[in-house]
Structure 1
Amino acid sequence: MQQNNGIDKKQMISFAVLCLVLFGFMFYFQNKQTKEAELKAQEQKTEQAKNAVKQTQANNINPNVTPNAIQTASLGNNELKLEFSSLGGQVSKVELLKYKAYNHKTDNADQPLYLITKNNSNYGFQFKDKTGKTVNTKDLVFSPSVNGNAVTLTADYNGAVIQFIYTLLPKYTLDFKVRTQGLSKITSDNKADFIWDYNVRNLEKGRAQEQSHSEFSYAFNNYKDYDYDGRTTMEEEKETLNWIGVKQQFFTSVIEAKNGFTQSKGNQENVEEGEYLKKLNYEGFVQMTGSELNQDFTWYFMPLDLPLLKSYDKNFDEILPLGWSFIGAMNRYFFMWLYGIIAAWGLSAGWVIFVMTIIVKLILSPIMYKQHKLSAMMKVIRPEIDEVNAKFKDADPMKKQQATMEVYRKAGVNQMAGCLPALVQIPIFYALFRFFPNFIDLRGQGFWFAKDLTAYDDLIKLPFKVPFLGDHLSIFALACTVVILIYTVMTSGNMQQPQQEGMPNMKVLMYIFPVTFLFFLNTSASGLSWYYFVSNAINILIILVIKYVILDEKKIHAQIQSNKEKPKAEGKFQKRMREMMEKAQEQQKTQEQQRNKKK
């Protein structure tokens, strides 16, 4: 019976034709698709607000406050445009001027990017007066006053004066001071409860992906330790938090307390559809001295750009979810570094990823060579393995396994060597899984029919939703699935079929894997799919070159015969396996003898 030993020349020709068709398909859609319109104007230049106080509607935030009583004040710099509401003295609008939000109607990133707007953020300090009534500053009406780059909002509560002083600093920093006078006459509390309700706005194309990256993030232990929480609740009642933030896929809103937040807790829940992704609620205490609330805070409304985050020296760089330990280090010090070097050549983002892939494959090529050499050796000794299987067909499985291992040992074939490439590529896969959806330099970068390499491409739209797949088909994901399937066909030729009943057919499982991979990639970053398409296409080319150019099966066969004639030292792993089998065999004989005695 003829064995499946990979692909023949006809299959090679089929693969080449398929690749040409696939690339032709890609270029066809590239040319068919109209070029995106250039930005209509340069970045907006904001003016320092001078006495920029205007009337606005309250949108029924507080039913006891009439709409005409609400005022707003504005501040701005080159990066931020801020608005403050007299109701609660809060930051009521935050626009990041150098970035745009995704517009679902136009399928382009052409909307102003607001982290805060339409009352999606609501915060205040809560305490009890001496009558036991709960007072929250978010319900008070403040009077705004603008002076240069600072806004002072002042409220009066039963004779006590409460002031919120906001000063816009360079870039993405807003200094926030709370000052009170006479508060001790109406309250005996020694701490105030800071309550922050935040609804995360949908800013990116991939809703599910952005939602999964939206969570609490915070630092403690004098900024040295960092943690995050994407689950339902967070509880840090024993730690003093230096800052608490709401992280999104590429942006974050953070408030830092100079003296820390204590007894912190929060909860969050997903929003299934609409403008918002998640609802988050945070509560933590700040100290009051002599029942007066005089504390210093700082707001940060930032893009998750690694150099920027590190520049603050407050452990903000941990907000960027690049992975733990070795995985994170690989992204920070290799993939980001490599991307920056290649991008400096002037290539577009898609071609930068293409070159990155080639470099990574070159680095891993010695390991891949060993893997495919092992595969060729397995092919050569396959007839001997088949003889062992036939000889011990009805014998004890343990004996058959020992005989098989003996064939491998005499031929000098180390089966464990085939596991090394897979083990090496697992951390690389996970690192890239973290890299592509979180690297802000890729945000908004298009390539062929993908308008944003950090989101999926959906040129093929479905008239209905498919479970786990969505309402579209990603061309990059489809292309990646095809090449993974071809690679699987090529590498599974020497895989043995299960000899025992009930054992799963590994070949079938390997063919199913690429199809299941489609469901994962279809809603993931198209940059990830493009990387793995190129990576697996290179794998196929490497196999063909090794098989038809580098490796000579006759020489390998001669080498194996030479190995058989030489006394072969038994490796530690092989020795342990042999000893375990012998021990198991002895135990099996003992059990059979005991059963025979009972009979």
Structure 2
Amino acid sequence: MQQNNGLDKSQMISFAVLCLVLFGFMFYFQNKQSKEEEVKAQQQKTEQVKNAVKQTQASNINPNVTPNAIQTANLANNELKLEFSSLGGQVSKVELLKYKAYDHKSDRADLPLYLITKNNSNYGFQFKDKTGKVINTKDLVFSPTVTGNAVTLTANYNGAAIQFIYTINNNPKAELKDQYTLDFKVRSQGLAKVTSDTKADFIWDYSVRNLEKGRAQEQSHSEFSYAFNNYKDYDYDGRTTMEEEKETLNWIGVKQQFFSSVIEAKNGFTHSKGNQETVEEGEYLKKLNYEGFVQMTGNELNQDFTWYFLPLDLPLLKTYDKNFDEILPLGWSFIGGMNRYFFMPMYNLIASWGITAGWVIFLMTIIVKLILSPIMYKQHKLSAMMKVIRPEIDEANAKFKDADPMKKQQATMEIYRKAGVNQMAGCLPALVQIPIFYALFRFFPNFIDLRGQGFWFAKDLTAYDDLIKLPFKVPFLGDHLSVFALACTIVILIYTVMTSGNMQQPQQEGMPNMKVLMYIFPITFLFFLNTSASGLSWYYFVSNAINILIILVIKYVILDEKKIHAQIQANKEKPKSEGKFQKRMREMMEKAQQQQSTVEQQKKKK
């Protein structure tokens, strides 16, 4: 019987030509791509605090308030540009000055990045007056006054005064963490004469704006995030509802792929609940609604809050010491540890050499391969040994073709034992690769240092590349083909061809053909990678290309099949002591065979 021994020399040449074509294709589009990213050295300059209060139009949230009656006030520092509306006394606009949003029309990240604008955020404190009427501060009209780096908005209701005082740190020398912070104090006077409530209901409605290229990816990363137990514990919720009736939340935030809007209550939010709804198309990704209680002192609403409008940059998040670093979804436990203490530091170290992001990932792949090389070597050596003893396995299968399957399995295991082949050793590389893959799956779409970093035809390594546009949408694939995902699929198929030659075919009817399943896997992988971060596809393209080179080097340079065959024959002549695992497997098989024989004898008696 002819065996599949991997690739012959002509196939090796084909693989080399394919790699050259792919790399040539990539370099062609690199030169074709414009250099717009090099032009923008500095973004907008710091705007001074505006003391004038100007008129503006707004959506008619309160039908009793005309648009011309709504006023706005502004504050700014090096990182944030903020606008406040007199309707509800709310933050009505938040722009992060050092970042840009993706423009679907121009296919570039060149739009101002607004976390809040066009009334996508709407919040207020709700309570009942003594007549039972529900009052919400978001429906009240406030009068704004700007003093230095603070805006005071004052509203009156039945003789009671409510003030919202917002303060920003606009000192250019202030710490970076303070420049993403907005102090928010709520003060009331005379409210005790209006209400008997001892707590107010904080209600926050927020629609997540589409800021990134990959809509589906960004949508999946948009969710509630919150801390409790004095900032020690953290949780998130990407489902339709969230309920924390028993916990006191220290802060509640709406997380997006790379940014987050967070409000912290100094005395906490109680009886928290919320819901979220996915938006299928348009400017918004999700609608989230939150509700939680804050205490009133002597029926007066005197509480301190802080707003944070944050880029999800890990070093920055850690400086707050409020568990904000958990907002970044790098994976739980060991997976998150790999990203925090291995992949991120390694990326930053290599990037500090002045290398572009794509080549940083290339070098990262090589380093990971070098670390795993002893394990990979054992795997490929095992594969070579399996190929050498394949004729004996086939002979045993033919000999016990019509016999009990258990006997066939015992005979196969005996061949492995005599040859000194440990099948379990082949599982180790696969087990090692699983946490690495999941860690990288979390790393590439969440590492803000990669955001906006282009490589060849991929304009952003945290999103898919869509160089090949389709005239229609394909289910689960979309309206494009990612070249990086396509290239990765091709090398995985080649690797599969090279490694599937030693795979034993099913001997029993109804058993799945593992070779067919192995060929299907790369195709299904294309559907997954096509809408994922192109950085992930590039990493696995390089990784699998290196795997192919390793196999070729091991096969034609390092390992000698004749020597391996001689070693196996020598192993057969040596007395073999059974290991605990082998002994247990043999005893289990013998016991199962005994039970099967007993059952067959009982059937014959009947």
TM range (shorter): over 0.9
Counterpart Cα distance in 2 of 1:302 and 1:345: 28
CA-CA distance at 1:6 after TM superposition: 1.0
CA-CA distance at 1:140 after TM superposition: 0.3
CA-CA distance at 1:66 after TM superposition: 1.3
Conserved in 2, the CA contact under 8 Å of 1:458 and 1:472?
yes
Counterpart Cα distance in 2 of 1:492 and 1:545: 18
Worse overlay, 563-572 or 237-246: 563-572
Counterpart Cα distance in 2 of 1:321 and 1:537: 29
CA-CA distance at 1:49 after TM superposition: 2.1
Change in Cα spacing, 1:583 to 1:60, as seen in structure 2 (3 Å) is same
Conserved in 1, the CA contact under 8 Å of 2:89 and 2:142?
yes
Conserved in 1, the CA contact under 8 Å of 2:177 and 2:320?
no
* 1:427-466 deviations in Å (ceiling 9; x for gaps): 0000000000000000000000000000000010000000
Structure 2 residue runs without a partner (length 5+):
168-175
Counterpart Cα distance in 2 of 1:277 and 1:39: 31
CA-CA distance at 1:169 after TM superposition: 8.6
3-state DSSP of counterpart to 1:179: strand
3-state DSSP of counterpart to 1:170: helix
Worse overlay, 58-67 or 328-337: 58-67
Q: TM-score, normalised by structure 1?
A: 0.99
Counterpart Cα distance in 2 of 1:446 and 1:298: 36
* 1:334-381 deviations in Å (ceiling 9; x for gaps): 000000000001000000000000000000000000000000110111
3-state DSSP of counterpart to 2:36: coil
Alignment partner for residue 379 of structure 2, among 367, 371, 381? 371
CA-CA distance at 1:580 after TM superposition: 1.1
CA-CA distance at 1:62 after TM superposition: 0.9
Q: Which runs of 4+ in 1 moved over 3 A?
A: 37-41
Worse overlay, 61-70 or 95-104: 61-70
Counterpart Cα distance in 2 of 1:50 and 1:205: 34
* 1:211-252 deviations in Å (ceiling 9; x for gaps): 000000000000000000000000000000000000000000
3-state DSSP of counterpart to 1:37: helix
Counterpart Cα distance in 2 of 1:37 and 1:213: 26
* 1:542-565 deviations in Å (ceiling 9; x for gaps): 011111111111111111111111
The answer for the alignment partner of 2:244 in structure 1 is 236
Counterpart Cα distance in 2 of 1:367 and 1:161: 71
3-state DSSP of counterpart to 1:38: helix
Counterpart Cα distance in 2 of 1:44 and 1:33: 25
Conserved in 2, the CA contact under 8 Å of 1:77 and 1:170?
no
Conserved in 1, the CA contact under 8 Å of 2:177 and 2:316?
no
CA-CA distance at 1:37 after TM superposition: 5.5
Counterpart Cα distance in 2 of 1:563 and 1:340: 48
Counterpart Cα distance in 2 of 1:387 and 1:528: 43
Alignment pair present for 1:598 and 2:605: yes
Alignment partner for residue 434 of structure 1, among 427, 436, 442? 442
Conserved in 1, the CA contact under 8 Å of 2:164 and 2:186?
yes
3-state DSSP of counterpart to 1:375: helix
Q: TM-score, normalised by structure 2?
A: 0.98
Counterpart Cα distance in 1 of 2:564 and 2:64: 87
Conserved in 1, the CA contact under 8 Å of 2:336 and 2:439?
yes
Counterpart Cα distance in 2 of 1:387 and 1:41: 70
CA-CA distance at 1:171 after TM superposition: 1.4
Conserved in 2, the CA contact under 8 Å of 1:169 and 1:175?
no
CA-CA distance at 1:41 after TM superposition: 6.7
* 1:529-549 deviations in Å (ceiling 9; x for gaps): 000000000000001111111
How many residue pairs get matched? 598
CA-CA distance at 1:598 after TM superposition: 4.4
Conserved in 2, the CA contact under 8 Å of 1:86 and 1:142?
yes
Structure 1 residue runs without a partner (length 5+):
none
CA-CA distance at 1:593 after TM superposition: 1.4
Counterpart Cα distance in 1 of 2:472 and 2:355: 37
Conserved in 1, the CA contact under 8 Å of 2:177 and 2:319?
no
CA-CA distance at 1:176 after TM superposition: 0.3
Counterpart Cα distance in 2 of 1:586 and 1:322: 51
Conserved in 1, the CA contact under 8 Å of 2:224 and 2:236?
yes
Conserved in 2, the CA contact under 8 Å of 1:210 and 1:248?
yes
Counterpart Cα distance in 1 of 2:39 and 2:191: 51
Alignment pair present for 1:519 and 2:530: no
Q: Percent identity?
A: 91
CA-CA distance at 1:45 after TM superposition: 1.9
Worse overlay, 63-72 or 33-42: 33-42
Change in Cα spacing, 1:336 to 1:470, as seen in structure 2 (3 Å) is same
Conserved in 1, the CA contact under 8 Å of 2:265 and 2:305?
yes
CA-CA distance at 1:36 after TM superposition: 2.4
CA-CA distance at 1:126 after TM superposition: 0.1
3-state DSSP of counterpart to 1:580: helix
Conserved in 2, the CA contact under 8 Å of 1:50 and 1:147?
no
Conserved in 2, the CA contact under 8 Å of 1:48 and 1:148?
no
